[in-house]
Structure formats: C-alpha cells, structure tokens
C-alpha cells in the first residue's frame, strides 16, 4: 500500500504498517499453538498515565466505514509525557486509518499518538491496536504478533533506506521487538497483553520510543 503524507512538516510515510491482509490471515490460519510473546499485566492507574485527549471530532471515539473503532481510551496505557515531551492523541493519523479496510480486518479498535514531527530533533509516532478475538487464540497468536512486527517495521523503514537490523530485548519487564532503519529511525513493537499491540517509529538522540517503554507501568 502506498505511503501517505502527513500534515505539512511531518514525515512522508505510513501512519502504521499496512497489512497484506490475505497473506496475513493465511499464515495465521496454518499456525501451530503458540504463547503470547509479551507479559499480560493488568492496567495500573497512576498519576502519569493516560495520554491527554485533545479536542477532536471523536473525543469519545468513532467508527470508520469498515467497522474499525477509533478508541482513545487505548492510550490510557501510555504515559502522558516522555522525557518531558508531551504525548498527545494523533487525530490526523486516526482520521486516515479509521477507513482502512485492511486494518479493519485485523483490529477492532485502534488509536494513535505522537510527539513532535520528523523535522524536529526528537520525534515519535505511536499506534495502539486491539486485535480481533479470532487473531488472539493460542493457535494463531504467535503468527499474529510476528507478522505484525515484520510488516510494521518493513513499512515504516521502507522510505528510510529499509531495515538494517532487528533485535529483541527486555525493557522495563516488556519483551520488545526492535528494528533499525538504515537512515536512522527505530521501530519498537510490544504486546501490552490481552490482544493489545503498541508499535512506534521514532528518531532522535533521546530515543523517545525506548523511554516511553521504560515509563509504562507493569
């Protein structure tokens, strides 16, 4: 799927990884039983958690034409600030993705947030999605997660000279899949448990993606 342009001054690129949904579902259908790759902690309310919901046409959520619900409450799992930078809902991304038929086949709810723009020294784009129940069963979850990790990284690095390397490590108790784009940006993806996936693309000396993960309460 073609990359879409952000608002002026933003990185030209996908608002999220576009799933090749037919191949994605086929791969999952033939998967063997597998475990979730990340921890499944219950949400913990803390004073610093919960991304501010700025005035938008759908402060309480909305549903796109294919049934994908934009649900800002998904952002409650994330910190309000990262290294003193405010993390806010990205209504522009949500307005594009809510009517994407491929995303609607994989997710039943979805939200986006960002820090800054790609023209700045430090920036981060984040998406949080809840996979549909049939993609969360023990028999298919491993393929659901791994396919999303690979496709998200491939899409987000495709205009940053491709993926130059991948890694998996534990950060703040979370098992995190990482991909480095050849031109510098870094992609992070992790399971927040119960079918919820957080994926991020960012760049800058402060590595805001890593610091966001370090701020998620377990």
Determine, yes or no, domain membership for 14: no
Determine, yes or no, domain membership for 177: yes
Who has greater pLDDT, 133 or 119? 133
Who has greater pLDDT, 64 or 133? 133
Determine, yes or no, domain membership for 24: no
Average pLDDT over residues 3-19: 34
Is the pLDDT at 154 greater than 80, yes or no? yes
DSSP state of 95: H
The angle formed by the CA atoms of residues 135, 148 and 114, to the nearest 5 degrees, is 115
Who has greater pLDDT, 154 or 26? 154
Domain count, the chain: 1
Tokens representing 167?
């890694």
Average pLDDT over residues 28-43: 41
pLDDT band at 68 (very low <50, low <70, confident <90, very high): very high
Is 149 within 8 Å of 190 (Cβ atoms)?
Answer: no
**Distance in angstroms (rounded) separating the CA atoms of residues 46 and 79:** 9
Mean pLDDT computed over every residue of the chain = 80
Please give the pLDDT value at position 159: 82
Please give the pLDDT value at position 151: 92
pLDDT in tens, 156-208: 999 899 999 999 999 999 999 999 999 999 999 999 999 999 999 999 999 99
Is 151 within 8 Å of 168 (Cβ atoms)?
Answer: no
Which among 35-49, 58-72, 111-125 has the top mean pLDDT?
Answer: 111-125
Determine, yes or no, domain membership for 18: no
Is 161 within 8 Å of 54 (Cβ atoms)?
Answer: no
Is the pLDDT at 86 greater than 70, yes or no? yes
- Look up the domain containing 178 and give its range: 49-215
Determine, yes or no, domain membership for 140: yes
Determine, yes or no, domain membership for 9: no
Is 169 within 8 Å of 186 (Cβ atoms)?
Answer: no
Q: Provide φ and ψ at 76, rounded to 5°.
A: -65, -20
Is 102 within 8 Å of 21 (Cβ atoms)?
Answer: yes
Burial of 62 (0-12, 13-18, 19+ CB in 10 A): middle
* Residues facing 110 on adjacent strands: 70, 129
Determine, yes or no, domain membership for 36: no
Determine, yes or no, domain membership for 27: no
Is the pLDDT at 25 greater than 70, yes or no? no
Is the pLDDT at 5 greater than 60, yes or no? no
Which sign, positive or negative, has the C-alpha torsion 100, 148, 107, 9? Answer: negative
């Amino acid at each position: 799927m073609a990359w879409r342009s952000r608002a002026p001054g933003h990185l030209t690129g996908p608002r999220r990884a576009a799933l090749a949904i037919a191949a994605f579902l086929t791969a999952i259908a033939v998967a063997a039983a597998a475990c979730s790759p990340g921890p499944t902690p219950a949400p913990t309310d803390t004073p610093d958690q919960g991304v501010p919901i700025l005035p938008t046409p759908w402060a309480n959520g909305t549903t796109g034409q294919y049934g994908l619900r934009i649900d800002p409450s998904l952002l409650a799992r994330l910190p309000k600030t990262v290294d003193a930078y405010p993390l806010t809902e990205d209504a522009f991304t949500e307005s594009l993705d809510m009517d994407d038929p491929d995303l609607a086949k994989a997710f039943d709810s979805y939200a986006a947030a960002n820090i800054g723009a790609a023209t700045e020294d430090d920036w981060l784009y984040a998406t949080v999605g809840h996979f549909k129940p049939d993609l969360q069963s023990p028999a298919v979850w491993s393929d659901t997660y791994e396919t999303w990790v690979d496709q998200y990284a491939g899409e987000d690095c495709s205009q940053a000279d491709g993926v130059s390397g991948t890694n998996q490590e534990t950060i703040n108790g979370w098992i995190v899949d990482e991909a480095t784009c050849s031109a510098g940006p870094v992609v992070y993806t992790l399971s927040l448990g119960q079918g919820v996936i957080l994926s991020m693309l960012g760049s800058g000396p402060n590595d805001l993606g890593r610091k966001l993960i370090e701020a998620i309460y377990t």
